[in-house]
Amino acid sequence: MKRGFVLLVSGAAFLLSLFSVVVCAQTTPGQYGGETAEMEAIVVTASKAPKAKSDVTQAVDTLTEEEIDTYLGSKRNIQELLMYQPGFFIDVLSRNDANWGSVGGLPHKYSTFMLDGLPIDSFVDPQSLDPWAFQRIEIQRGPASVLYPNYLFMDFAGNETPLAGTVNLILRDRIDNPMTKLSAEYGSYNTINGRFYHQNKVGNFHFFLGGQYEQSDYTNYGTDPSWLNMIDDPEYRKIRLYGHGTYFFGNSDEHKLSVFAHNTWHDGDAGRPNRDFEHQYTTLNADYQVPISPCVMARAKVGYRNYDRTWEEDNFPANLALREEDGVKQEIVPGDFSVSFKHLDGGLFTAGTDFQVATYKTFAEVTRKVTGNDATASQNGVYVQEEYKWKDWVFRAGGRYNYTHHDYDRIGGVVPGVDDASWDKLLWSAGVRYNVLESLSFYSNAGTSFVVPGIKSIGGTLKPEDEGVPGKNGQLPNPDLKPESGLGWDFGIDYRATKRLSLGARVFLNKVDDQIVDIVVSRDPSQSKSVNAGKTTAYGVEIEAKHRLNSWLQWFANYTYTNSNVENPTNPDQDDVEVPFVPEHMGNIGFQAFLPYDIMAAAWLHVAGEIFDSTSKSNRNGFTHYELINAKIQKALVKKEAYKLDCYLDLYNITNNKFTMPWQFQDPGFAASGGLKFVF
């Protein structure tokens, strides 16, 4: 703990000294950064309706389009945008792999992702989607309302639930002015990146479209020795294409139809001649909103997600010959229909139903394609929620009924003894906020969750007899898994000390019974297995400060303490152990300065404590605490009313800290990239 505070203080001193080099000129208020009016953010995630943050009971943070554009992520993952938020531990393994972090003291499958209110996967979709498509990102900390369901992803860590919070990626629908953005970038590992974006409107039809191409030699991102042993630089290529259109009926912003389509092609190799991979991700959203009366609004949404991944396995370490080609194919169709009714002076009643249908198939091909898992899942939910504002109080309460059904055709390559299973559960959520003063608020929320075992957790990608067999990398099956249930609670304070200084604190408590976690069974070969880890309790506190010091300098800082523990008296090896991927201490400090000559400079320090990769005392690794310092410098080369040309330099992991991560991954260390961005 002491070392964590020392790192925070020394890092702050480093960042201050960095700025002292460039912040030495007298500036006039408004000359460079501008004197911006402080307006309360409007959020939609908590209520499915636009509301001021002071009118919702939950803690909701917003990343604006400008903040999204400023933050940098060397791993090319949207999860990295959340790294500096209180309570989020982000552990993106590489540019080709997912995040294995945590939220609110629990593995991050307990914080869902959404795209305009429809669920997406928190492991794969942040690798796929392009943040240039977002108008903002809303981050709700604490138990989500009953308005949002679990996500039936099945792969990686299985199903996902919003017990510890939810992240909503908000697309841009109304276009005020036509605009085009072009960028070209070159960086470490011979990385070449080009992007384009264009937005416009024709009558009542507002649209944008964009794309990205990136290729890289990348670098060895595994420890030595490990199952990732690379004999050459791994290479990859990513291509993204997307578009969004909104038609507004009449002059109303409320009556509209929107359609969004996004596709990512991701191929490359893992640093050996027969370790190629080829992935394709497709994301579709359709959204229709219509006011039935001045007080009643109806909204219908439907989506399609396709995750199609294939990769090769060799005979390493015996030889590098091709052994087999493996693959996973998932298709998920989520839908939601809701009606909201405004009543009295400050009431909002929302009722609705949602559904998901998911298919999950895995295969291995040697001389012929053999199916491993073949299953279908469906989920249906019905929910109601009432929100009411009375004087300085905001009250919220709601309930949800969830029904989930699985059909198993094959598990682990064989026809299972049980061909289907189903679960149902009543859930509830409630919250209250008291706005004592315009500058001071207290809030509290509580809610329950319910997660059934994922098909991959039950069936695995390997057979039981593959345990410990060299070259057999993947997940072992566990057909005896039980569903888990959770309870979340938080209490927080928001205080605006001055017009420019905001302070906040939040305590949280999350409990999960029969928690399903992935434990490491073997590291060489790399094998994991889902198990019920008994009762999990996670509690902690988050404190934060955001300060616009003057017109050209702003900073933020936050600290999170978490205590998470697994109790499993029936298995001494898993009793009284830490929850995987949850650091006890985390902290962030960041600065942004608008300097003379149209220069913007920003720097961030992230500190994370020790984590473990398993709940098994006898078979787990500990990963030491680390600090990460990133910086960005941007200058306007040409600045006209009709167009602007910027150059920028991104510096990642300035101290070249090659810290180790789970599954025998490690951070590659220092990386730099620079480029030009043309906006007209």
With a cut of 60, say whether residue 3 has pLDDT above it: no
Pairing of strands 599-608, 665-666: unpaired
Residue 19: phi, psi to the nearest 5? -75, -30
- Residue 157: pLDDT band (50, 70, 90) is low
66: exposed, middle or buried (Cβ count in 10 Å: 0-12, 13-18, 19+): exposed
Q: What is the DSSP string of 397-426?
A: EEEEEEEEEEEEEEBTTB--S--EEEEEEE
Domain ranges of the chain: 2-679
Beta strand 526-532 with 474-476 is parallel
Residue 49 CA to residue 39 CA, distance in Å, equals 18
Residue in 460, 475, 471 with CA at minimum distance from that of residue 521: 475
What CATH number is given for 2-679 in this structure?
Answer: 2.40.170.20
Instruction: Give the torsion sign (CA, 51, 54, 55, 56).
Output: positive
Q: What is the pLDDT of residue 73?
A: 82
φ and ψ at 486, to 5 degrees? -135, 160
Span 464-472, average pLDDT: 85
Decide: 222 and 664 in contact? Cβ < 8 Å.
yes
Q: Is the torsion defined by CA of 102, 454, 620, 311 positive or negative?
A: negative
Q: What is the DSSP letter of 578?
A: P
553, pLDDT greater than 70:
yes
Q: pLDDT (tens digit, 9 = 90+) per residue, 506-532?
A: 999 999 998 777 777 887 888 888 888
The Cα–Cα gap between 538 and 540 comes to 7
Report DSSP letters for 354-377, one per residue.
EEEEEEEEEEEESSSEEEEEEEEE
Asked if the model's pLDDT at residue 300 lies above 70, the reply is yes
> What are the backbone angles phi and psi of residue 231, rounded to the nearest 5°?
-100, -5
The tens digit of pLDDT for each residue in 165-214 reads 999 999 999 999 999 999 999 999 999 999 999 999 999 999 999 999 99
Q: Give the whole-angstrom CA distance, residue 277 versus residue 251.
A: 48
pLDDT over 80 (residue 32) = no
Give me the mean pLDDT over the 88-94 stretch.
Answer: 96
Mean pLDDT of 11-21: 40
Beta bridge partners of 567: 535
